Amino acid sequence: MALERTFAIVKPDAVKDGHVGEIITAIEQSGMAIRGLKRVQLTPAICKGFYHEHVSKGFYQELEDFMTEGPVVMMCLEGDGAILKWRDLMGATNPANAEGGTLRKRFGANIGRNATHGSDKPESAAFELSYFFNAFELG
Ligand code: DAT
Ligand code: MG
């Protein structure tokens, strides 16, 4: 498997509920390395750029309201097959459909408030990492 980097967010629900530590523990136990990490407050404009694929969708405003309601913790994760590995660790978009033990099953409430974000493919990972991290922030 190829060494990959992916982009992860602990969303406002999971930050507010105090699950940052448990999520970082799950990442460390998976064998992936955290190459960048910061806590930020997203704005509507920044959210629109990040979720440009979804801006025209019916659920977008709900998504933006949620993602800007409080701080998030974002990370660059690195490892063999990290993109799929992190998606597997998160579980399905809708926590109701997520496998037991996944982060969205453990910490997500519903499809809107689902605790974590992960890039879905190499092109998204490259865009999302460069959107939020400067090169010097990724060790
Ligand atoms: P994922 O985050 O699993 O990549 P996505 O890219 O399809 O899922 O959607 C991005 C986020 O938008 C998702 O994590 C939660 C929200 N979302 C998606 N579909 C939704 C819906 N039908 N209703 C409300 N929120 C939704
Ligand atoms: Mg997605």
Residue 64 sits in a domain whose CATH number is 3.30.70.141
What is the Å distance from ligand 2's center to 120 Cα?
A: 6
With a cut of 90, say whether residue 139 has pLDDT above it: no
> Identity (one letter) of the amino acid at 9?
I
Q: What is the mean pLDDT of residues 3-16?
A: 99
- Residue 27: which domain range? 3-137
Report how far residue 44's alpha carbon sits from residue 23's, in angstroms, rounded to the nearest whole number.
25
Left (φ > 0), alpha (ψ -120 to 50) or beta: where does 129 sit? alpha
When divided into structural domains, the chain yields a total of 1
> pLDDT by residue (tens digit) across 81-125?
999 999 999 999 999 999 999 999 999 999 999 999 999 999 999
Indicate whether this model's pTM tops 0.95. yes
Per DSSP, what are the bridge partners of residue 118?
8
> Identity (one letter) of the amino acid at 11?
K
Ligand 1 site-directed mutation target among 63, 84, 89, 110, most atoms within 8 Å of CB: 63
